[in-house]
Amino acid sequence: MFGKSVAPSKVPTDIVIPFRFFDDTPLWKAFILYSMFVFDDVLDAEKLRDSLEKLARHDGWNKLGARMRKDNQGNLEYHVPIEFTEERRPLTYSHITHNMSASDHPIASKIPNPSSRPSVVCDPDDFRELFRPEGGPIRLEDYLNRDIPQLGLHIVSFTDKTLVIIYWPHTLMDAMGKKALMDAWMLMLQGRDDEIIPPQGGDGDPLADLGKSPTEAHKLASQRLSMFGLAQYGISNVLDLFRTQEHRMVCIPGAFVESLRNEAIGELTANGTEDPFLSEGDVICAWWTRLAVSHLPHATQKTVVLNNAYSLRKSLETDLLPKGAPYVSNAIGFINVLLPVQYIFEKPLSYIAAATRNAINELGSRSQVEAFSALWRESSGKIPPFFGDGSMHMITYSNWSKAKLFETDFSAAVITSGKEGGRSGLPTYIQNNQFGLVLPNGFPIIGKDNDGNFWLSGYMNKGLWGRIEEQLANV
């Protein structure tokens, strides 16, 4: 009863596909992701299910329904049923119906609405009873020890709202891979399956040679953490992994972001920068960094590392990942900005935002992506390279704005529209939850909603969110 779980027997007829190099890494194996989309409409759950199952059966998309196994060397591999059946379905599916409005439900009634000023609006973990179906996977072993597909779909229906939740191990895909999935799902739902393009790579690995032919050193190579530095950083931060982490969602009105951006660009222009450019993401990260490190002594020289997750697709579109077909896997690098705490508070916001933009321009080039990937390949245990020092404070950002998740259009599944005079079938709220590794000071920017508001969430040590709320009250 209490023995070690045993993986299901392998099915001889399954198609076996080795994991791609940059999918089978300790980092991605540590996360199981749940993404909840809230629609203010009553949606047809069976239409959503049928269209997603059809996608998993569509040419090139069958990996969604693959089972996860290990080979004799312990490497991960996909086992794709040669045919999906009632016993071995292309996705895990569940549906719960509540014969009440969401506003009358004790938990769903807390789903936030946009705020008129930057505000902490909820704890996304409070909705766990809604977004995680009974027995839903929370660790990689749940996939290895069960005969379940990579992709799960859970739908919760109210008389005035529908929650659509997809869940998967991070080894399957990143945020831009999820965008490709959602785009293909929409086409299938709309009966436009002839327009669905198979993902790049088929059963092979388009990034098999990435990082094998660097032509230059990584620009931060001299600041790369050694094994000793990594150990020092680990010792300095190990307590964070055992401290209580608090999860919060923040709504940032678009007008506020635009005001910050205009102010920052004005500062750069006044300082002589010709035709300065800053994205909304650059400005959000700069502004949020000040809040996220506000508990640190402001005059210290302690290094803060802004660790920005970055899709490699654009950098690789000239060779390994050409335009025209989606890449449904992980193609992520990390772009780092190193600043002393003192600079974050003494320098203007434009300084931090420009440092982020400059790093993206420099470290996001094709040659620097090759150099970064080479460091990742040569690292012990396939751990991505870290830059900084052993006593640094690291903040990780992952900006999903380009995935345009709020443009997910499920209008073809609308039974009853909740929008009067507005466009139905679009999500009004999206959140992401993770099981497995909880990364302190890790902040995904979910994106911009259809009213122009930005949504950002993350985990911090208990008590720090309270300090941030106090500061936001004065914005």
Given a contact cutoff of 8 angstroms between Cβ atoms, the answer to whether 128 and 146 are in contact is no
The confidence score (pLDDT) of residue 101 equals 98
Given a contact cutoff of 8 angstroms between Cβ atoms, the answer to whether 446 and 456 are in contact is yes
Q: Are strands 15-18 and 119-122 parallel, antiparallel or unpaired?
A: unpaired
Cα–Cα dist 4/394, whole Å? 36
The yes-or-no verdict on residue 283 having pLDDT over 50 is yes
Assigned domain for 461 exists = yes
3-state SS string over 389-423?
CCCCEEEEEEECHHHCHHHCCCHHHEEECCCCCCC
State the pLDDT confidence band at 231, using cuts at 50, 70 and 90.
Answer: confident
The yes-or-no verdict on residue 184 having pLDDT over 60 is yes
Q: Please report which residue ranges of 170-279 form alpha helices under DSSP H.
A: 175-189, 227-242, 254-270
Assigned domain for 4 exists = no
The yes-or-no verdict on residue 363 having pLDDT over 50 is yes
Catalytic residue (choose from 123, 203, 240, 409)? 409
Within this chain, do residues 306 and 452 fall inside the same structural domain, yes or no?
A: yes
The confidence score (pLDDT) of residue 227 equals 81
Cα–Cα dist 445/309, whole Å? 11
Q: Which of 155, 177, 195 is a domain's end point?
A: 195
The yes-or-no verdict on residue 1 having pLDDT over 50 is no
Q: What is the domain range of residue 229? A: 221-402+437-472
Within this chain, do residues 34 and 173 fall inside the same structural domain, yes or no?
A: yes
Assigned domain for 86 exists = yes
Assigned domain for 413 exists = no
Catalytic residue (choose from 23, 154, 170, 282)? 170
Within this chain, do residues 163 and 252 fall inside the same structural domain, yes or no?
A: no
Letter string b/e over residues 96-126, b meaning 16 or more CB atoms within 10 A of that residue's CB? eeeeeebeebeebeebbebeeebbbbbebbe
Within this chain, do residues 181 and 33 fall inside the same structural domain, yes or no?
A: yes
Cα–Cα dist 161/98, whole Å? 10
Assigned domain for 210 exists = no
Q: What is the pLDDT of residues 138-167, one digit of tens each?
A: 999 999 999 999 999 999 999 999 999 999
Length of the chain: 475
State the pLDDT confidence band at 276, using cuts at 50, 70 and 90.
Answer: very high
The one-character DSSP state at 98 is -
Say whether 461 sits in a helix, a strand or coil: strand
CATH code for position 450: 3.30.559.10
Say whether 167 sits in a helix, a strand or coil: strand
Within this chain, do residues 177 and 225 fall inside the same structural domain, yes or no?
A: no
List Cβ<8 Å contacts ≥24 apart for 457-461: 457/124, 457/247, 457/248, 457/249, 457/250, 457/431, 457/432, 458/247, 458/248, 459/245, 459/246, 459/247, 460/245, 460/246, 460/248, 460/292, 461/240, 461/243, 461/244, 461/245, 461/246
Within this chain, do residues 237 and 170 fall inside the same structural domain, yes or no?
A: no
The confidence score (pLDDT) of residue 233 equals 84
The yes-or-no verdict on residue 102 having pLDDT over 80 is yes
Within this chain, do residues 272 and 388 fall inside the same structural domain, yes or no?
A: yes
How buried is residue 223: exposed, middle or buried, by Cβ count under 10 Å (0-12/13-18/19+)?
A: middle
pTM assigned to the model: 0.96
Within this chain, do residues 155 and 238 fall inside the same structural domain, yes or no?
A: no
* 169 phi and psi angles, rounded to 5 deg: -80, 145
Number of domains in the chain: 2
Average pLDDT of the chain is 96
State the pLDDT confidence band at 421, using cuts at 50, 70 and 90.
Answer: low
Assigned domain for 91 exists = yes
State the pLDDT confidence band at 2, using cuts at 50, 70 and 90.
Answer: very low
Within this chain, do residues 29 and 176 fall inside the same structural domain, yes or no?
A: yes
Cα–Cα dist 370/207, whole Å? 11
Q: Which of 195, 211, 230 is a domain's end point?
A: 195
Averaged pLDDT for residues 180-188: 99
Number of neighbouring beta carbons within 10 Å of residue 219: 17
Question: Could you tell me which residue, 378 or 226, shows the higher pLDDT?
Answer: 378
How big is the CA angle at 288 (ends 219 and 469), to the nearest 5 degrees?
155
Cα–Cα dist 83/13, whole Å? 9
Share of the chain above pLDDT 90, in %: 92
Cα–Cα dist 403/60, whole Å? 21
Assigned domain for 213 exists = no
Q: What is the pLDDT of residues 37-93, one digit of tens each?
A: 999 999 999 999 999 999 999 999 999 999 999 999 999 999 999 999 999 999 999
Within this chain, do residues 352 and 394 fall inside the same structural domain, yes or no?
A: yes
Cα–Cα dist 371/353, whole Å? 24
Q: What is the pLDDT of residues 113-141, one digit of tens each?
A: 999 999 999 999 999 999 999 999 999 99
The token duo for 163 is 């929650």
Which secondary structure element, helix H or strand E, spans residue 336, and what is its range?
A: strand 332-340
How big is the CA angle at 416 (ends 415 and 420), to the nearest 5 degrees?
140
Q: What is the pLDDT of residues 235-253, one digit of tens each?
A: 877 777 677 899 999 999 9
The one-character DSSP state at 11 is P
Within this chain, do residues 235 and 151 fall inside the same structural domain, yes or no?
A: no
The confidence score (pLDDT) of residue 3 equals 41
The yes-or-no verdict on residue 112 having pLDDT over 90 is yes
Within this chain, do residues 318 and 276 fall inside the same structural domain, yes or no?
A: yes
Share of the chain above pLDDT 70, in %: 98
Q: What is the pLDDT of residues 291-320, one digit of tens each?
A: 999 999 999 999 999 999 999 999 999 999
Clarify whether 170 is annotated catalytic.
Answer: yes
Cα–Cα dist 162/407, whole Å? 16
* 142 phi and psi angles, rounded to 5 deg: -65, -30
Cα–Cα dist 323/125, whole Å? 37
Which secondary structure element, helix H or strand E, spans residue 36, and what is its range?
A: strand 31-39
Assigned domain for 204 exists = no
